[in-house]
A and B are shown apart, each in its own frame.
Chain A
Amino acid sequence: MRRGVGISGLQRQQRHESQLKKVGSELGHQNAAELRRQLDALRQRIEGFAFEHRGVINRDPVFRAHFNRLCAASGVDPLKSSKGVWAQLLGVGDFYYELAVQVADVCMSTRAQAGGLIAVGDLHARLGRKRGGAGRAISRDDVLCAVAQLRQLGGGYAVSTFGGGEQYVRCVPLELDADHNALLTLATPSARVTRARLAQELGWAAERADAALATLLREGVLWVDVQGPTGEPEYWVPCIWQRAESCVAPADGGQAGKRAPRREDRAR
């Protein structure tokens, strides 16, 4: 007979296993406790740091971006814990909630002209104007953080990239497929596109062009102009046009060339 067989053998084996388990779980508890202790310490250090530098964090967009990256790397998310110690300490959570509300506000107010797409740069500039004073300057990273927060709420907020890597915030429940991206990329330099160019430059058959145009028209991303020089309908992308326009005249939205007569007008 081999050792360990029989009732007593089984019992011994069970005892052995349960002891092993006990030792294992004790070790596990100790490890977990140790980890928790280390995490707590880390969080306390970050909190201490954040508290000490909260003025700079709130004021300086670059510093804030670095701080956010540090928090993300250490698995502590100051944005998600708005109800916790972070909000009390810093108002950081509130900062992004406030910014998110402003992002939503700008997206809604430009939606009519832009069809629910807005260049991140344009959005950033508009937010800057909206917020006024330099005390609470925001960075591009802050804008993207706020959009990420809105995304959690649904409502179709997301960031897309097309046309030379420029990022656009979408605020309509719109899925851009490869064709839409190709079309918008082609439209980027002049803010418009025609069926002829889709055929020439992308080699698209009429049906394919029509399908992509129809979707983007329906979503309000494209506006049609039938008074173009060739008489062929031109499909404009207001959000791209707007970006170019706001580059010309960031202050009042007027074209640089048109400002001169206005000044004369005032002087008269």
Chain B
Amino acid sequence: MAENPTTALTAHWRLPPFFTLQPVATTRVEQLALWRTLIVDFCREQRLASLPLDAASGPPFANTAISRALDAAGRRAVADALIAAGEAQWVAGAAGERLLVWWRPLAHWADELSRHLRSAGGSVFTMAELKSTDADSPVRGCELYGLGADLVRAAVAELERTGRAATFGSKPSVAGGDDDEVGVKLL
């Protein structure tokens, strides 16, 4: 994660009380709306598909220059606000820990993945291949490439949900577990 200030970290990111969850309801609503914009812009700018909620030592949740950090309750409130606005969702199996932030909608990622795999040829892949960042990865050149396993899993799940793909093989017993051996077939 970049240590340099970014344009997504706007003026209020330097305002100390921005990092204290405001006790007054209306102010908190406004504060969380500012946080939502900041998080989505930050993730877009840094090309972060998922954001760990426990990383509170640097941007976006902490500003070391002013010695302020949003505490766990505050980060959770921001996450809940993002989810309620449809701008994020928990990573499957990591609820409360990692957040997929939709600076592009999930449908876009699913479309991209499906389009790319079809144009690359082939219709059956393993999750290991789709998550791979190797030079010969079938997703190389796709917009998803290099954005992390969380996003690939979410995109595959979306394709499955919308009837455009089916998964088979040894699925992990817990969501988010080792799914390298899972097969994905485009329909």
User: In this complex, what residue of B is CB-closest to A245?
Assistant: B11
Task: Let me know if B137 is at the binding interface, CB within 8 A.
Answer: no
| Chain B residues within an 8 Å CB radius of A261 | 4-5
| Chain B residues within an 8 Å CB radius of A78 | none
Do residues B11 and A242 form an inter-chain contact, with CB atoms below 8 A?
yes
| Chain B residues within an 8 Å CB radius of A223 | 15, 17-18, 20, 22, 27, 31
Of the candidate stretches B63-71, B106-114, B176-184, the one touching chain A is B63-71
How many A-B contacts if CB must be within 8 Å? 68
Task: Let me know if A217 is at the binding interface, CB within 8 A.
Answer: yes
Of the candidate stretches A32-40, A154-162, A226-234, the one touching chain B is A226-234
Q: A71 CB to closest chain B CB, in angstroms?
A: 39
Q: Report how far A226 CA is from B23 CA in the complex, Å.
A: 11
Task: Let me know if A113 is at the binding interface, CB within 8 A.
Answer: yes
Do residues A228 and B27 form an inter-chain contact, with CB atoms below 8 A?
no
Do residues B4 and A245 form an inter-chain contact, with CB atoms below 8 A?
no
Q: Which of B16-37 contact A (CB under 8 A)?
A: 16-20, 22-24, 26-27, 30-31, 33-34
Interface size class of A (residues with CB under 8 A): 20 to 34
Q: B35 CB to closest chain A CB, in angstroms?
A: 11
Task: Let me know if A115 is at the binding interface, CB within 8 A.
Answer: yes
Most chain-B CB neighbours within 10 Å: which of A223, A224, A227, A245? Answer: A223
Q: 1/0 contact trace for A107-133 toward B, CB 8 Å?
A: 000011101000000000000000000
Task: Let me know if B47 is at the binding interface, CB within 8 A.
Answer: no
Known: A220-B24, A224-B23, A227-B67. A265 touches B4 (CB 8 A): yes
Do residues B4 and A262 form an inter-chain contact, with CB atoms below 8 A?
yes
Q: Report how far A228 CA is from B16 CA in the complex, Å.
A: 8
Task: Let me know if A255 is at the binding interface, CB within 8 A.
Answer: yes
Q: A83 CB to closest chain B CB, in angstroms?
A: 37
Q: Report how far A178 CA is from B174 CA in the complex, Å.
A: 62
Q: Tell which of B5, B19, B24, B34 touches A218, judged by Cβ atoms closer than 8 Å.
A: B24
Do residues B20 and A227 form an inter-chain contact, with CB atoms below 8 A?
yes
Q: A251 CB to closest chain B CB, in angstroms?
A: 12
Task: Let me know if B10 is at the binding interface, CB within 8 A.
Answer: yes
Do residues B67 and A258 form an inter-chain contact, with CB atoms below 8 A?
no
Q: 1/0 contact trace for A239-268 toward B, CB 8 Å?
A: 001100100000011110010011001000
Q: Tell which of A111, A112, A218, A258 touches B31, judged by Cβ atoms closer than 8 Å.
A: A112
Most chain-B CB neighbours within 10 Å: which of A115, A225, A242? Answer: A225
Task: Let me know if A93 is at the binding interface, CB within 8 A.
Answer: no
Q: Report how far A42 CA is from B132 CA in the complex, Å.
A: 82
User: In this complex, what residue of B is CB-closest to A235?
Assistant: B17
Q: Tell which of B2, B11, B20 touches A224, judged by Cβ atoms closer than 8 Å.
A: B20
Task: Let me know if A236 is at the binding interface, CB within 8 A.
Answer: yes
Task: Let me know if B14 is at the binding interface, CB within 8 A.
Answer: yes
Known: A225-B68, A261-B4. A236 touches B15 (CB 8 A): yes
Q: Tell which of B7, B27, B30, B65 touches A217, judged by Cβ atoms closer than 8 Å.
A: B27
Task: Let me know if B118 is at the binding interface, CB within 8 A.
Answer: no
Do residues B34 and A225 form an inter-chain contact, with CB atoms below 8 A?
no
Task: Let me know if B12 is at the binding interface, CB within 8 A.
Answer: yes
Do residues B65 and A253 form an inter-chain contact, with CB atoms below 8 A?
no
Q: Report how far A19 CA is from B16 CA in the complex, Å.
A: 81
| Chain B residues within an 8 Å CB radius of A236 | 15-17
Do residues B30 and A111 form an inter-chain contact, with CB atoms below 8 A?
yes
Q: A224 CB to closest chain B CB, in angstroms?
A: 6
Do residues A113 and B27 form an inter-chain contact, with CB atoms below 8 A?
no
Q: Report how far A257 CA is from B55 CA in the complex, Å.
A: 25
Q: Report how far A130 CA is from B58 CA in the complex, Å.
A: 32
Do residues A227 and B16 form an inter-chain contact, with CB atoms below 8 A?
yes
Q: Report how far A223 CA is from B32 CA in the complex, Å.
A: 13
Q: Report how far A206 CA is from B24 CA in the complex, Å.
A: 20
Q: Report how far A258 CA is from B65 CA in the complex, Å.
A: 10
* 16 more CB-based (< 8 A) A-B contacts, given A224-B23, A262-B4: A111-B30, A112-B30, A112-B33, A112-B34, A220-B24, A224-B22, A225-B17, A227-B16, A227-B67, A228-B16, A234-B16, A236-B17, A253-B10, A254-B5, A258-B65, A261-B4
Q: Which 6 A-B pairs have the closest CB atoms?
A: A223-B17, A112-B30, A225-B17, A225-B16, A253-B11, A220-B27
